[in-house]
Amino acid sequence: MKHLIEKLNKAFENRVRLGIMSALMVNDFVDFNSLKELINVTDGNLASHLKALEKTAYITMKKEFIGRKPNTKYSVTEEGKSAFNDHIKALEALIKGNE
């Protein structure tokens, strides 16, 4: 059992980060406001979790303008996809009690 828990990725322990990664895994990109509404968090809370995931190189950010308004979009990296899939597999194994 301890071996299974060690396979969990600490970057995805928080519900906000789990929500961010889940949204990005099924979309090419998601903008900041959409993530905020989807996960139901404040601007500051979301920004801090996004920054943490950027530091691990699991997500990337792209800023652009739509008209005169700034728009920040996020997408998952290949490294992020791999790490998240490994995390999900570890969770499934933990639930099933498999190694």
Q: Is the pLDDT of residue 82 over 70?
A: yes
Residue type, 69: K
pLDDT digits (tens, 9 = 90+) for 25-66: 999 999 999 999 999 999 999 999 999 999 999 999 999 998
- pLDDT at position 18 is 96
Q: Are 16 and 39 in contact (CB under 8 A)?
A: yes
Position 64 in a domain: yes
What is the CATH number for 51? 1.10.10.10
The domain in which residue 42 lies consists of 2-94
Domain count along the chain: 1
Position 99 in a domain: no
pLDDT digits (tens, 9 = 90+) for 9-26: 999 999 999 999 999 999
Q: Are 97 and 41 in contact (CB under 8 A)?
A: no
